[in-house]
Amino acid sequence: MQGKIIILSAPSGSGKSTIIKQIIDDEALHLGFSVSATSRAPRGQEKDGVDYYFISDEEFLRRIDAGDFVEWEEVYAGTHYGTLASEVERVTGSGRNLIMDIDVKGGVNVKKRYGSRALSIFIMPPSLEVLSERLHGRGTDSEEVIARRLAKAEYELSFAPHYDLTVVNDDLDAAVRKVRRAITEFIAG
Ligand code: ADP
Ligand code: 5GP
């Protein structure tokens, strides 16, 4: 049987990666992470093939032309991110449920494409102030990169009504519980 698709989107720094790390190894959910391709440089402890497939922008554009992506976006000017068709096949083909950390436009497009086979979850920061604190606290981005991400956050928040479910990530344990419960119900249905 083909696995289902779980989409998590949010402004950068809202806690998507943190939440995914807490549930990815929960065998009851039978998840596989969709490793995206990106043309940005690795951040902190990120590893190629685990967090992302890190490729050059030139290679990214070549693979767009080759039709290798299910979806892709230029999330920040000059920086591309995309989901490879081979990645969707690798995970869902093995019967696992694919969990994707993708931007708001990509999330809405993937939901449209897969319909009831996909569950889309929007992770909401408690406020823009808290979002700024988290981006600074993460300690992985320059001031310039943080400013670029915050400038886009308000626009990204406007996409929340297009998602199946919104979870506010204030208390991390509570947010993880809500996401886990929603996925459990979805994959049982
Ligand atoms: P994203 O993947 O959405 O860009 P991260 O998961 O990297 O965001 O989280 C951004 C920062 O906020 C990290 O340093 C993380 O440890 C911290 N964080 C995540 N969730 C919470 C929370 N509920 N309370 C406090 N800090 C959090
Ligand atoms: P970051 O640089 O913080 O890892 O990710 C920046 C943004 O790119 C986030 O909103 C993240 O969800 C998004 N993103 C990561 N991978 C993909 C992808 O494959 N497709 C799309 N559309 N967005 C992605």
- From atom 10 of ligand 2, which residue's Cα is the shortest distance away? 103
Query: Architecture of 5-188 per CATH?
Result: 3-Layer(aba) Sandwich (3.40)
**How many helices (H) does the chain have, and how many strands (E)?**
7, 9
- List the chain domain ranges: 5-188
Checking if the pLDDT of 1 tops 90, the result is no
Query: For the segment 106-142, what is each residue's pLDDT rounded down to a tens digit?
Result: 999 999 999 999 999 999 999 999 999 999 999 999 9
Is the CB of 92 inside a 6 Å radius of any atom of ligand 2? no
Closest ligand relative to 69 C-alpha: 2
29 lines ligand 1 (CB under 6 A): no
Nearest protein CA to atom 20 of ligand 2, as residue = 82
Q: Are 7 and 161 in contact (CB under 8 A)?
A: no
Q: How far apart are the C-alpha atoms of 63 and 38, rounded to whole Å?
A: 11
Would you say 146 and 132 are in contact if contact means Cβ atoms under 8 Å apart?
yes
Q: Is the pLDDT of residue 179 over 90?
A: yes
Reported as a pLDDT band with limits 50, 70 and 90, residue 151 is very high
Spatial CA neighbour of 123 closest among 175, 85, 68: 175
Is the pTM higher than 0.85? The answer reads yes
pLDDT band at 189 (very low <50, low <70, confident <90, very high): confident
CB 123 within 8 A of CB 8: yes
Per the prediction, the chain carries an average pLDDT of 96
Distances (CA, A) of 66 to 59, 69, 84: 10, 8, 11
Ligand 2 near 156 CB (within 6 A): no
Distance 47 CA to ligand 1 centre (A): 18
- On whether the CB atoms of residues 44 and 30 are closer than 8 A, the answer is no
| Per-residue pLDDT at 168 | 98
| Ligand 2 contact, 87 CB (< 6 A) | no
